[in-house]
């Protein structure tokens, strides 16, 4: 079985780039025959220039980050927006994501207020020597779900892992991905997504002349009763299995 027309964008959060465990693991995963017809693009944080967020909050207020013109973040955002499936990874550094991964995520924090990645599936990936995968996976899941993504799987890598364990996980993720394409109504939102949707909807309904409230209005988001309804309407796209 093949997944047709799937656009995959991979973000590798290790400064070791193509030498990193995550990069090798993700590339292995993407060798699975189900991805034969996929369009795959990737970036590794060691090869791009992403400045630290300056905390000016212009992105929240205007939808524009002044740094996007100076570094690669504008291009990276477009690649995230164009993808159907986003695979994001980070090595475990002191039981958290790497600094480079966090810097990149900080720059799109405001997308959590507008669910900018609604309708996309995500896979979160973490690599460790011994411990801490659970914290990184949990954080990446929280970030991706706050952007509106439906997380189809978790790819964890650790030194003692066997090839069989890895392959079993690959199969599980592919199964969930295919299932989510065949029937988007099985993509249950998280409690966090539902709560975030209700809170933001209530806040923006009473606001105007504000970028986020305007975005909700222009994108017809107020018409959805729940995040669930909103998400289902966007997950049925032109991807075929």
Ligand X SMILES: Cc1cc2nc3c(=O)[nH]c(=O)nc-3n(C[C@H](O)[C@H](O)[C@H](O)COP(=O)(O)O)c2cc1C
Q: Which residues bind ligand X (CB under 6 A)?
A: 14, 16, 20-22, 91-95, 127-132
Question: Is the Cβ of residue 22 or residue 84 nearer to ligand X in the bound state?
Answer: 22
CB of 219 to ligand X, least distance (A): 36
Question: Is the Cβ of residue 20 or residue 193 nearer to ligand X in the bound state?
Answer: 20
3-state secondary structure of 120: coil
Those residues with Cβ within 8 angstroms of residue 60's Cβ, 6 or more apart along the chain or in another chain = 109, 110, 113, 211, 212
CB of 209 to ligand X, least distance (A): 44
Question: Is the Cβ of residue 92 or residue 117 nearer to ligand X in the bound state?
Answer: 92
CB of 89 to ligand X, least distance (A): 7
**Strands across the sheet with 7-12, in order?**
39-44, 7-12, 85-91, 121-128, 150-158
CB of 156 to ligand X, least distance (A): 11
Token readout for 183 is 């029937």
The C-alpha atoms of residue 118 and residue 170 are separated, in whole angstroms, by: 24
CB of 25 to ligand X, least distance (A): 8
Q: What is the dihedral of CA 134, 138, 139, 141, to 10 degrees?
A: 140
CB of 144 to ligand X, least distance (A): 18
Closest CA to 144 of 157, 170, 126: 126
Question: CB–CB of 52/103 below 8 Å?
Answer: yes
Question: Is the Cβ of residue 157 or residue 235 nearer to ligand X in the bound state?
Answer: 157
Distances (CA, A) of 114 to 70, 118, 187, 210: 24, 9, 19, 12
Question: Is the Cβ of residue 53 or residue 97 nearer to ligand X in the bound state?
Answer: 97
CB of 214 to ligand X, least distance (A): 40
Distances (CA, A) of 1 to 33, 174, 176: 8, 10, 14
3-state secondary structure of 240: strand
Question: Is the Cβ of residue 59 or residue 92 nearer to ligand X in the bound state?
Answer: 92
Question: Is the Cβ of residue 45 or residue 59 nearer to ligand X in the bound state?
Answer: 45
């Amino acid at each position: 079985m093949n997944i047709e027309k799937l656009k995959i964008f991979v973000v590798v959060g290790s400064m070791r780039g193509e030498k990193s465990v995550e990069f090798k693991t993700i590339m292995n995963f993407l060798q699975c025959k189900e991805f034969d017809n996929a369009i795959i693009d990737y970036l590794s944080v060691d090869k791009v220039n992403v400045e630290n967020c300056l905390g000016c909050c212009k992105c929240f207020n205007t939808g524009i980050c002044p740094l996007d013109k100076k570094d690669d973040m504008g291009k990276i955002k477009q690649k995230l927006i164009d993808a159907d499936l986003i695979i994001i990874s980070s090595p475990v550094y002191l039981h958290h994501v790497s600094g480079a991964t966090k810097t990149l995520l900080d720059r799109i924090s405001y997308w959590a207020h507008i669910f900018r990645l609604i309708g996309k599936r995500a896979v979160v990936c973490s690599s460790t020597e011994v411990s801490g995968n659970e914290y990184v996976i949990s954080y990446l899941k929280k970030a991706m779900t706050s952007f509106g993504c439906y997380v189809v799987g978790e790819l964890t890598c650790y030194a003692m892992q066997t090839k069989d364990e890895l392959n079993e996980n690959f199969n599980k993720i592919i199964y969930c991905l295919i299932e989510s394409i065949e029937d988007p109504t099985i993509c249950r939102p998280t409690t966090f997504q539902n709560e975030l949707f209700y809170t933001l909807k209530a806040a923006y309904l009473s606001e105007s002349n504000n970028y986020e409230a305007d975005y909700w209005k222009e994108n017809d988001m107020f018409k959805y009763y729940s995040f669930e309804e909103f998400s289902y309407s966007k997950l049925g796209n032109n991807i075929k299995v």
